[in-house]
Amino acid sequence: MTRSGVSSSVSARLLAWVAWGLMLAGYWAPWVEGSTAGLTFSGFDLPHFLVFFQRAGYGPLVRERLWMPLWGLALGLGLLSLGPERRLRASPRGFFWLLALLWPLATWPPYPELLNPWSVEGRGGFIGGLMAACVVASLPLWPVSWRRRVALALPPAVLGITGPELVQAWRLWGEHLRIPPDMGWGLPLYGLGLALWGWAWWRTSW
């Protein structure tokens, strides 16, 4: 690889880390704000809150799809921790990969509900979190070209799975709670991170 190619790859890797950082900050920032009632929910809070919509029979709503941004963060961290190599070492990269491996389990139902993970309210987060953890665990075995394809597919996957459900939740919020929701600043920040993520991986071959 030429010097310019190495420089381009390094800058793309740094951009990917910046994009992931924006996604992380955006995920924990407010996504939905019901200013009238003082309700504010981050990307992590929203699926937990919408369980009450399911219990009340509001729908159709598949709130488990709103876990996809978190699973996407875990997958992104796993991809970044490996870089162009296929081996993990006792280094910060290994720590980041381990963190990415455990992170999807945050969508599992809490104890004691975890004793019955196949319940209607908990099985989506349980199955999805387990699948995401398995994908992250297998990443070191994948060729670099495969990992790059997964990284490029991440933004459309998150948007395609989460977007329609978020629109539906928005509609149900205003219809049943009678509180017009406002968009928090975390949602567009997460979207900006997704866009930069895709651009960064288009610029690199690792």
Q: Which tens digits make up the pLDDT trace of 36-80?
A: 656 789 999 999 888 887 777 777 778 889 999 999 999 999 999
CA–CA dist 69, 76 (Å, integer): 10
Give pTM, 2 decimals.
Answer: 0.88
**Each residue's pLDDT tens digit, 137-160:** 999 999 989 999 999 999 999 999
pLDDT interval class at 3 (50, 70, 90): very low
Q: What pLDDT is recorded for position 36?
A: 61
Q: What pLDDT is recorded for position 90?
A: 52
Nearest one of 28, 66, 31 to 47, comparing CA atoms: 66
Instruction: Reply yes or no on whether the pLDDT at 91 is more than 70.
Output: no
Instruction: Reply yes or no on whether the pLDDT at 205 is more than 90.
Output: no
